[in-house]
Homo-oligomer: A and B are copies of this chain.
Amino acid sequence: MNFNEELQTKTEEMRSTLQAFLPTEEGLQKTVIEAMNYSTLAGGKRLRPMLMAETFAMFGGKSEIIKPFMAAIEMIHNYSLVHDDLPAMDNDEYRRGMKTTHVVYGEGMAVLAGDGLLNFAFETACKAFETAETLEDYQKVAKALTILGKKAGIYGMIGGQCVDIEAEEKQELVTEEVLLFIHEHKTAALIQCAMMIGAILAGAKEEQIEQIEKCAYNIGVAFQIQDDILDVTSSLEVLGKPVGSDEKNNKITYVTLHGLEESKEQVEALSNEAIQILSSFTERNLFLEKLVEQLIYREK
């Protein structure tokens, strides 16, 4: 099977795993559940659960213990989109070609649907305890839950969103430190979360988990710088959204700070180091290495 076929098959598997954990649309509170499922099943690359599952496999993980966490991280990613799209935040009417949750269900219900998904992510992750038997199993799940909380919260994704909101209001305050903080927290944190949980649940050593954290940092930051590059170099046809929007909005990006050449070199350096870390482990996962490359060097 070639990479693209394999990617497609695995993306469908991710969707099935996710769907198996989503709540049934029943009961008097049916509306909020419908809104949660609407936003979660609307599409997406299922990148975070895929990175989690592939890291888990690389470290020899085989059991069902990983599945609740795969669903949980995708729920967290999706709740953040639902709240990001709210009129009080980015005020977006469409996402992935579909109307956003608050447009379909109303603002109040969209706030609740986001809260519902975030809460349900932790409920779902707790199901991993049902597969635990030994003290060691419990310790692994406890550690994975702790990472999930940390990387999704104020010391991770939410922290990045806070600084991003403030940066948009005051572009003059955006330094390289601020920009890297946003990329690291808003984007890289959930990628670290995904890959670290994969490693933890597969029983990787502390030192290996730290290397994975570093690798995922590189992937996340390179991904975001590539985003800034594409906004300058791509076209509306390829990207599917208007290019040059950063310049139009006077937005400070890695490219406006360092220029196109240096930005490309930075992506190259971060990417090389990420792949080098992945290929340094005793057991390699070639699909994961290819996935990371494709993700960073994407053209849209």
Contact = CB atoms under 8 A, between A and B. Distances in A.
Interface of A: 23, 27-29, 31-33, 36, 79-80, 83, 86-89, 102, 106-112, 114-116, 118-120, 122-123, 126, 129, 132, 134-135, 138-139, 141-142, 145-146, 149-150, 152-155, 158-163, 165-166, 177-178, 181, 185
B28 A163 contact: yes
A142 B149 contact: no
Contacts of A23: 154
B83 A162 contact: no
How many monomers of this protein are in the complex?
2
Nearest to A27: B159
Contacts of A135: 134-135, 138
A79 B119 CA distance: 12
B122 A122 contact: yes
A156 to B, nearest CB: 9
Given A31-B166, A120-B153, A122-B149, 14 more contacts: A28-B163, A28-B177, A29-B158, A31-B162, A32-B158, A86-B88, A87-B88, A88-B111, A115-B158, A116-B153, A116-B154, A123-B146, A132-B142, A142-B142
25 contacts: A23-B154, A28-B177, A29-B154, A29-B160, A32-B158, A32-B159, A32-B161, A80-B115, A83-B111, A86-B88, A109-B165, A116-B153, A118-B118, A119-B149, A119-B154, A120-B154, A122-B149, A123-B149, A123-B150, A132-B142, A135-B135, A135-B138, A138-B138, A138-B142, A141-B142
A286 B72 CA distance: 42
A163 B129 contact: no
A135 to B, nearest CB: 5
A106 B28 CA distance: 32
A161 B149 CA distance: 24
A154 B33 contact: yes
Contacts of A116: 153-154, 158, 162
Nearest to A147: B126
B83 A115 contact: yes
A201 to B, nearest CB: 15
Given A114-B115, A135-B135, A29 B126 contact: no
Contacts of A165: 108-109, 112
Given A107-B88, A111-B111, A118-B115, A28 B146 contact: no
A146 to B, nearest CB: 5
A165 B123 CA distance: 23
Contacts of A177: 28
A162 B109 contact: yes
